[in-house]
Amino acid sequence: MGVIKMSLRLMKADLRKCIFYGISLTISISIIFVFFNYIDNEILGNTMSGGSFSQVLALMVIVFAIFNCVFANNFFIAGKTNEIAIYELSGEGVFGIAGYLLVQNFIIILISIIGGFTLGYFFNGLFNRPNYNQLNRNKIHEIAISFS
């Protein structure tokens, strides 16, 4: 049986852990999305070159969310020790085991990134609404994205 087919089959068998891992990644990615927007939102007077206390605090929240993603991944991989042991006893090499974990993580992370950006976009409106009302601005979903 191929690595991809086996990964999908074992993902379905352990769906609860996969969903929990996906939800924790989705929430963390949405938090990262919102606070990166806050750091570089010109309407609020923030730029990446600035160094205000609120930007440093937002950066600390982003770092905390990134650590949450790393710890969730470690927890997810630690729960896979039985499958990894069975793969090793079956004679699977290191690359086969890495492929198995890579396929599962890639699928969950891809879904979580899409969900996290979508959720972050809506949280962004809720987060910016009080700030924009205080500044008498009527833009709610202003997302400052620059590629320069």
Full pLDDT tens readout for the chain, 148 residues = 677 888 888 888 888 999 999 999 999 999 999 888 877 776 666 665 666 777 788 889 999 999 999 999 999 999 888 888 888 888 888 888 888 889 999 999 999 999 999 999 888 878 777 776 666 666 555 555 555 5
**Token reading at 82:** 């039985």
How many C-beta atoms lie closer than 10 Å to residue 22's C-beta? 20
d(CA 7, CA 28): 24
**Token reading at 100:** 């198995």
∠ at Cα 17 (14, 21), nearest 5°? Answer: 140
d(CA 79, CA 60): 29
With 0-12 / 13-18 / 19 or more C-beta atoms within 10 angstroms meaning exposed / middle / buried, residue 136 is: exposed
SS (H, E, C) 17-85: HHHHHHHHHHHHHHHHHHHHHHHCCCCCCCCCCCCCHHHHHHHHHHHHHHHHHHHHHHHHHHCCHHHHH
pLDDT confidence of residue 72:
92
- Residues 38, 143 contacting (CB under 8 angstroms): no
